[in-house]
Structure 1
Amino acid sequence: MSNQPLIPFSTTIHVRDTCLCLHAQRAARALARRFDTALKSLGLTNGQFSLMMSLNRPEPPPMGPVANLLAMDRTTLTAALKPLTRRGWVAIEPDPKDKRGKRLRLTAEGTAILSAALPIWKSTHDAVEAELSSGDAEGLRQDLVEISR
């Protein structure tokens, strides 16, 4: 280990100031905290809100497309579903077309919570967009979508 070249502190500062990954992680954590705080009165986290919103479809979706939309693996999705199913907000049902698969459905209670959460999400989201110094929320969204492909 002692033969390793030392990385100058100036390099550390450069990485700190320019690393897109670090800045995206910090922004994601700050946004998550903000939405978690806003949704706390309903007993929801921002991740649960996003998951439940992804289930708000005309037909209950299979697990695979939901996991892909949320950029998580199926194991992580399964873990994220547990508290929602325990609370009776989401039901996991056999896929009628493939008995090995599962479909995810918002229950009536889940739909009611999601309906109550939507105005909270909207006001928080509008406030975040209004605080962007560039004023270009759509450009930021497009850039984030490009990176996530």
Structure 2
Amino acid sequence: MTTTQFSILSALGSGSSLTMIELAQAMMMDRTTLVRALRPLLQNGFVASKPDRWVNRRLQLALTGSGRVKLDEAMMHWRAAQDEFERKFGPEQAAFLRRELFRVTRDISNT
């Protein structure tokens, strides 16, 4: 699983379905890139897609039961990586680096 795929599962992990447009906006990526990252998740049954009940051409994406299991597994690895990051850099430096990464991401998405 790629970091992008992990982020997709996490975004869908809240329990509500999202349209492709909503997910692309949440992920700050164009639709083509999202489709490429999403394809294996759909093929492996981690994400399900169905037509929107209001707009037939729009797809709703949702995490499946097996997608929830995969997300939980991946989350354990993510937490372990975060804990190691904290140990190596210390809590203050790690918090500073996270703030800077979020700032850079926000600044890029606003341009």
Corresponding residue number in structure 2 for 1:104 = 61
Q: What TM-score comes out, normalization by structure 1 length?
A: 0.64
- Paired with 1:128 and 1:66, the residues of 2 have a C-alpha distance of 28
Task: Specify every segment of 5 or more residues in structure 1 that has no aligned partner in the other structure, as ranges.
Answer: 1-43
Q: What TM-score comes out, normalization by structure 2 length?
A: 0.83
Q: Which amino acid aligns with 2:13?
A: N
1:141 to 76, 98, 101: 98
Identical counterparts, % of pairs:
35
Higher relative contact order (Cα pairs below 8 Å, separated by 6+ residues): 2
Please list, as runs of the form range in 1=range in 2, the aligned pairs for 1:74-89 lying within 5 A after superposition: 74-89=31-46
Q: Which amino acid aligns with 1:93?
A: K
Q: Which has the greater radius of gyration?
A: 1
How big is each residue's C-alpha offset from its partner over 1:15-50, in whole Å with a ceiling of 9 and x where there is no partner? Answer: xxxxxxxxxxxxxxxxxxxxxxxxxxxxx2222111
Q: Does the CA contact (< 8 Å) of 2:12 and 2:63 recur in 1? A: yes
Task: Specify every segment of 5 or more residues in structure 2 that has no aligned partner in the other structure, as ranges.
Answer: 107-111
The total of aligned residue pairs comes to: 106
Corresponding residue number in structure 2 for 1:60 = 17
Deviates more, 1:68-77 or 1:125-134: 125-134
Corresponding residue number in structure 2 for 1:120 = 77
Q: Does the CA contact (< 8 Å) of 2:47 and 2:67 recur in 1? A: yes
